[in-house]
């Protein structure tokens, strides 16, 4: 019988979904279920050198001894247990000696850090651990680079295993066939060959089968999977699918029932709260061979279309694509949107429109529904100039301001007819009839990670005109709920960290503006209390 193993990484790779916080009882149940299934290698989490506070609910461990004690690991069967070490991010001097030669560490490394990976590998092995190396983003290597890498690993390390890692889920079966043949040819015969698929293009199952059927029969191989495909974004190869395939086609005897039980009791419930599966960000990540956090970063802004995001990804430098750099992402986003123009005349015309008047700015918060009568009264009062932001269909205002390209493009031509438009230059760079164009770069809030809030950009433009007073309507503040807006069609979900940053940025800016301009709220707002003097 061919030596084909399954490595289940639910408690490690699946932990990206829930920040590794499965809860202690669930951790034990998942591990024991995988033992009953007969999974060959069970990856139970991370070994972290900075894990100073014990938390039994989280699959992160300071040492193997802590892990084995916390997870009630007893080597009384055929199961092997592994922990992952994140290559160059780990301080290797903090790794203690191993008390058991069966302890397995999987170590990741990037192409540019092979020398350091070899150094780390030797130390890990010298301390008594079995070692499995994971060359991250294997598709980023060319053929000769793979051959050279394998020669180094063969000679300098000769590890327990080496994996083909489809980090961005970009591989198709033809890629897997080529890489399997290449690794088979150049990897020492006694080294286990692994395959770690991701499901960005829905190819994980097909790729796994391709790997199994194309690896040489005399080669021991291992395929990574997770229960229900649990994993970041598009997820992984589902364990229940691959073990069933092996049972039917390779006379394996994995017990499926424990997987069904733990899926029903634990993993299915996690999926209801933290969904994973095929999605646009991870599709774009795969086709562009780019770290998915860049796509998520751009999508999170809710300002540009998927086509724009795809164009934006093309601008990411090759050496930046495989490792996410938030500051770099923000810079190329800003540059992509910046279309420098001279808006001196536009500002003069704006000043003539608002000179000596109270400005009424209307946002799309759902509070405008409950305050409709008060808002209508305000709009009918004398000596005001009213501006709606990113929407035509709220109220009949004197002008409509758009800095959000996605919102502008979603507005219909019928809506735009006979409206005075204020636009930033990321949308249009040349004015048309009944429009004023303002420089995008000049309207940004300088020095802030979130600098293109439409409200803040408009305030930056108009405060130069020294308005008499500003009344804010419908700027409720953001929450994790989808119904942040009065119009449900405009709704979208934002993650908690981004919401906090966005709300804090707007609060602080309004507080700063109040030093120069009198600002008041007509509708309730998360920014209101903090912005009072």
Contact between residue 399 and residue 414 where contact means Cβ atoms under 8 Å apart:
no
CA distances, 300 to each of 304, 325, 443, 492 (Å)? 10, 15, 20, 10
Q: What is the pLDDT of residue 532?
A: 41
pLDDT in tens, 289-320: 999 889 888 887 778 888 888 889 989 998 89
Interacting residues of 420 by C-beta distance below 8 A, sequence separation 6+: 398, 399, 400, 434, 435, 436
- What one-character-per-residue DSSP string does 9-25 give? -TTTGGGGTTTTB--HH
Interacting residues of 373 by C-beta distance below 8 A, sequence separation 6+: none
CA distance 506 to 437: 23
Q: pLDDT > 90: what percent of the chain?
A: 56
Alpha helices in 187-238 (DSSP H): 204-214
Contact between residue 486 and residue 368 where contact means Cβ atoms under 8 Å apart:
yes
Minimal CA–CA distance to 43: which of 71, 14, 79, 9?
Answer: 9
Q: Is 366 exposed, middle or buried (0-12, 13-18, 19+ CB in 10 A)?
A: middle
CA distance 327 to 312: 15
Q: What is the pLDDT of residue 255?
A: 96
Q: What is the pLDDT of residue 527?
A: 84
Q: What is the pLDDT of residue 489?
A: 46
pLDDT in tens, 229-276: 999 889 999 999 999 999 999 999 999 999 999 999 999 999 998 889
pLDDT in tens, 430-469: 877 788 999 999 888 776 655 688 888 998 898 877 777 8
> Which run of H or E residues covers position 144?
helix 143-152
Interacting residues of 240 by C-beta distance below 8 A, sequence separation 6+: 227, 228, 256, 259, 260, 263
Q: What are phi and psi of 299, to 5 degrees?
A: -65, -35
User: Within 13 Å, how many C-alpha atoms sit on residue 456's CB side?
Assistant: 24
Q: What is the pLDDT of residue 307?
A: 85
Extract the tokens encoding 355: 């000179």
Contact between residue 161 and residue 187 where contact means Cβ atoms under 8 Å apart:
no
Look at 33-47, 107-121, 425-439 and tell me which has the smallest mean pLDDT.
425-439
Look at 165-174, 200-209, 216-225, 477-486 and tell me which has the smallest mean pLDDT.
477-486
Name 20's bridge partners: none
Minimal CA–CA distance to 196: which of 84, 290, 75?
Answer: 84
> Which run of H or E residues covers position 501?
helix 496-513
Q: What is the pLDDT of residue 296?
A: 85
Name 81's bridge partners: 42
Contact between residue 162 and residue 202 where contact means Cβ atoms under 8 Å apart:
no
Residue 51: pLDDT band with limits 50, 70, 90: low
Alpha helices in 266-362 (DSSP H): 268-273, 280-287, 292-300, 306-313, 326-337, 344-354
Asked if residue 419 has pLDDT above 50, the reply is yes
Average pLDDT, the chain: 88
For the residues 484-507, what does the mean pLDDT come to? Answer: 66
Extract the tokens encoding 29: 């149940």
Residue 41: pLDDT band with limits 50, 70, 90: very high
For the residues 400-412, what does the mean pLDDT come to? Answer: 84
Query: Which long-range CB contacts under 8 A does 178-186 form with residues at least 24 apart?
Result: 179/138, 179/146, 180/210, 180/211, 180/214, 180/215, 181/214, 182/143, 182/146, 182/147, 183/146, 183/150, 184/215, 184/216, 184/219, 186/146, 186/147, 186/150, 186/151, 186/154
Name 302's bridge partners: none
- What one-character-per-residue DSSP string does 93-141 give? GGPPPPS-TT-EEEEEE-GGGHHHHHHHHHHHHHTT-EEEEEESSGGGS
> Could you give the 3-state DSSP secondary structure of residue 222?
strand
How many CB atoms lie under 10 A from the CB of residue 462? 25
Q: pLDDT > 70: what percent of the chain?
A: 93
Residue 60: pLDDT band with limits 50, 70, 90: very high
The residue among 13 and 492 whose pLDDT is bigger is 13
pLDDT in tens, 219-238: 999 999 999 999 988 999 99
The residue among 518 and 449 whose pLDDT is bigger is 518
Assign a CATH topology to domain 4-273: TIM Barrel (3.20.20)
CA distance 180 to 202: 19
Q: What is the pLDDT of residue 530?
A: 45
Extract the tokens encoding 276: 């994973």
Q: How far apart are the first and last CA of the chain?
A: 78
What radius of gyration do the chain's Cα atoms show?
28
Extract the tokens encoding 260: 């069904």
CA distances, 26 to each of 58, 59, 252 (Å)? 10, 11, 27
Angle formed by the axes of helices 306-313 and 280-287, nearest 10°? 30
Asked if residue 335 has pLDDT above 50, the reply is yes
Domain boundaries, the chain: 4-273, 280-337, 344-531
For 394-422, give one letter per residue: b (16+ CB within 10 A) or e.
bbebbbbbbbbbbbbeebeeeeeeebebb
The residue among 356 and 107 whose pLDDT is bigger is 107
Residue 412: pLDDT band with limits 50, 70, 90: low
Q: What is the pLDDT of residue 497?
A: 73
Contact between residue 83 and residue 134 where contact means Cβ atoms under 8 Å apart:
no
pLDDT in tens, 184-222: 999 999 999 999 999 999 999 999 999 999 999 999 999
Report angle CA 439, 443, 449 to the nearest 5 degrees. 130
- What one-character-per-residue DSSP string does 368-411 give? HHHTHHHHHHHHTSSSEEEEEES-SSS---SEEEE--HHHHHHS
> Could you give the 3-state DSSP secondary structure of residue 340?
coil
How many CB atoms lie under 10 A from the CB of residue 188? 13
Interacting residues of 8 by C-beta distance below 8 A, sequence separation 6+: 34, 39, 41, 42, 43, 224, 225, 226, 227, 239
For the residues 85-97, what does the mean pLDDT come to? Answer: 87
């Amino acid at each position: 019988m061919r030596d084909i193993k399954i490595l289940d990484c639910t408690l490690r790779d699946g932990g990206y979904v829930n920040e590794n916080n499965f809860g202690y009882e669930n951790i034990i149940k998942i591990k024991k279920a995988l033992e009953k299934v007969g999974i060959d290698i069970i990856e139970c989490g991370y070994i972290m050198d900075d894990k100073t506070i014990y938390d039994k609910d989280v699959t992160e461990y300071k040492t193997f001894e802590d892990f084995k004690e916390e997870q009630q690991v007893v080597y009384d069967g055929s199961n092997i247990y592994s922990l992952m070490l994140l290559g160059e991010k780990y301080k290797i001097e903090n790794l203690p000696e191993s008390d058991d030669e069966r302890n397995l560490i999987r170590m990741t490394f990037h192409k540019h850090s092979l020398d350091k990976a070899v150094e780390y590998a030797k130390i890990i092995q010298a301390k008594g651990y079995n070692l499995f190396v994971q060359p991250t983003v294997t598709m980023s290597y060319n053929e000769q680079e793979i051959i050279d890498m394998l020669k180094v690993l063969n000679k300098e390390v000769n590890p327990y295993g080496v994996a083909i890692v489809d980090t961005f889920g970009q591989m198709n079966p033809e890629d897997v066939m080529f890489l399997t043949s290449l690794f088979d040819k150049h990897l020492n015969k006694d080294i286990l060959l692994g395959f770690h698929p991701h499901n960005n293009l829905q190819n994980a199952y097909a790729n796994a089968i391709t790997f199994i059927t194309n690896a040489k029969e005399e080669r021991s191989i291992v395929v990574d999977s997770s229960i229900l495909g649990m994993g970041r974004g598009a997820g992984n190869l589902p364990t229940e699918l691959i073990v069933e395939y092996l049972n039917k086609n390779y006379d394996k005897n994995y017990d499926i029932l424990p997987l069904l039980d733990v899926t029903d009791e634990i993993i299915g419930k996690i999926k209801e709260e933290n969904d994973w599966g095929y999605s646009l960000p991870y599709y774009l990540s795969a086709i562009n061979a780019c770290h998915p956090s860049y796509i998520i970063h751009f999508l999170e802004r809710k300002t540009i279309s998927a086509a724009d995001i795809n164009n934006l990804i093309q601008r990411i430098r090759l050496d930046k694509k495989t490792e996410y750099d938030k500051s770099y992402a923000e810079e190329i986003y800003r540059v992509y949107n910046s279309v420098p123009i001279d808006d001196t005349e536009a500002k003069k015309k704006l000043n003539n429109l608002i000179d000596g008047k109270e400005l009424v700015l209307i946002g799309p918060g759902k509070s405008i529904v409950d305050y409709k009568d008060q808002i209508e009264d305000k709009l009918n009062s004398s000596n005001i100039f009213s501006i709606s932001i990113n929407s035509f269909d709220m109220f009949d205002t004197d002008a409509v301001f758009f800095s959000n390209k996605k919102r502008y493009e979603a507005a219909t031509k019928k809506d735009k007819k006979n409206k005075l438009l204020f636009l930033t230059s990321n949308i249009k760079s040349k004015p048309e009839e009944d429009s004023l164009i303002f420089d995008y770069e000049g309207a940004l809030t300088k020095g802030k990670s979130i600098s293109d809030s439409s409200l803040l950009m408009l305030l930056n433009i108009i405060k130069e005109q020294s308005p008499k007073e500003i009344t804010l309507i419908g700027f409720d503040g953001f929450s994790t709920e989808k119904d942040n807006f009065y119009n449900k069609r405009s709704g979208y979900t934002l993650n908690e960290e981004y919401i906090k940053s966005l709300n804090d940025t707007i609060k602080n800016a309004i507080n700063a503006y109040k030093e120069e301009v009198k600002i008041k709220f007509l509708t309730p707002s998360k920014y209101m209390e903090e912005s009072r003097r």
